[in-house]
Amino acid sequence: MATPQITESTVTVQGQTLFYRQAEPAQAVPKLTVLLLHGIRFSSETWLQVGTLATLAENGYRAVAIDLPGLGRSKDAVAPAPVGQPAPAAFLKAVSEALCQGPAVVISPSLSGMYSLPCLLEHSQLFKAYVPVAPICTEKFTAEQYAQIKTPTLIVYGDQDVELGQTSLNNLRHLPEHQVLMLQGAGHACYLDKPNEWHLGLLAFLKQLKLISPSRHGIAGRSQWRGRQSRGDGAQHHPDPPHAHARQGDRQHHRQERRDR
């Protein structure tokens, strides 16, 4: 397999200069774009080091990882909202329009929930799919608001993340088109604790997106899920309906090992 090309650049969004990394398949046209955000202690370099950028490109996806305002190599950029408060949806909309070449899969851990959630609720047409990883700000929105969003969603958390992991799961399960990926033995930054399981679960979810007609994407209609999805620990599970309880999330008795809040 040819090594994917990973490049670095900057983009100007709302007058702010943001750094980003991009990985593309060495051959063939990318299937779709995956936009990766990050937590407060991390940056786009995290996705480089853990191998997510390369993994996505090797599997045919275009991966774009940005450094959020005030963090990483975008530290001179001014954030559009205080940490922990929902940012104006227009910010991530502008990022998406500048970098994503159409609807993208948005991966959003921890801090980045302050950017992704407002944009999802106001501009769901920009999201091919949503992958929240124990994000903040889930309590800022109501079950009724979540219920209006038909974007395919993979809720990810570590079973040792007894705070944000469980809180975000409880709130985000109101998204009607969701599935749950629990990483066993992982803390808050679960993709760092269990990178292989993270990549397996993410790729299985992305593969399912081929079964969703573009005309049925977003708030206009329900997507159709088929088959089963690998849970990342080798087990299989069906999509978790909105009314079901994620049983795995009730078995949390350990302290989280790592936080990036």
Could you tell me if residue 261 is inside a domain? no
Whether the per-residue pLDDT at 244 is higher than 50: the answer is no
Q: What is the mean pLDDT of residues 171-186?
A: 98
Q: What is the mean pLDDT of residues 238-257?
A: 35
Q: What is the pLDDT of residue 73?
A: 97
pLDDT digits (tens, 9 = 90+) for 30-77: 999 999 999 999 999 999 999 999 999 999 999 999 999 999 999 999
Q: What is the mean pLDDT of residues 86-92?
A: 98
Whether the per-residue pLDDT at 213 is higher than 70: the answer is no
CATH number reported for the structural domain that contains residue 194 in this entry:
3.40.50.1820
Q: In this predicted model, which residue has the larger pLDDT, 108 or 249?
A: 108
Q: In this predicted model, which residue has the larger pLDDT, 180 or 242?
A: 180
Mean pLDDT of the chain: 85
Could you tell me if residue 216 is inside a domain? yes
Domain span at residue 199 reads 5-250
Could you tell me if residue 259 is inside a domain? no
Q: What is the pLDDT of residue 69?
A: 97
Q: What is the pLDDT of residue 234?
A: 36
Whether the per-residue pLDDT at 223 is higher than 90: the answer is no
Whether the per-residue pLDDT at 161 is higher than 80: the answer is yes
Whether the per-residue pLDDT at 18 is higher than 90: the answer is yes
- Residue 245: pLDDT band with limits 50, 70, 90: very low
Whether the per-residue pLDDT at 225 is higher than 60: the answer is no
Q: What is the mean pLDDT of residues 183-195?
A: 98
Q: What is the pLDDT of residue 180?
A: 98
Q: What is the mean pLDDT of residues 151-168?
A: 97
Could you tell me if residue 258 is inside a domain? no
HEC profile of the chain: CCCCEEEEEEEEECCEEEEEEEEECCCCCCCCEEEECCCCCCCHHHHHHHCHHHHHHHCCCEEEEECCCCCHHHCCCCCCCCCCCCCCHHHHHHHHHHHCCCCEEEEEEHHHHHHHHHHHHHCHHHEEEEEEECCCCHHHCCHHHHHCCCCCEEEEEECCCCCHHHHHHHHHCCCCCEEEEEECCCCCCHHHHCHHHHHHHHHHHHHHHHHCCHHHCHHHCCCCCCCCEECCCCCEECCCCCCCCCHHHHCCCCCCCCCCC
Active site residues: 110, 161, 188
- Residue 26: pLDDT band with limits 50, 70, 90: confident
Q: What is the pLDDT of residue 121?
A: 98
Whether the per-residue pLDDT at 252 is higher than 50: the answer is no
Q: What is the pLDDT of residue 87?
A: 98
pLDDT digits (tens, 9 = 90+) for 119-147: 999 999 999 999 999 999 999 999 999 99
Per the structure, how many domains does the chain have?
1
Whether the per-residue pLDDT at 1 is higher than 90: the answer is no
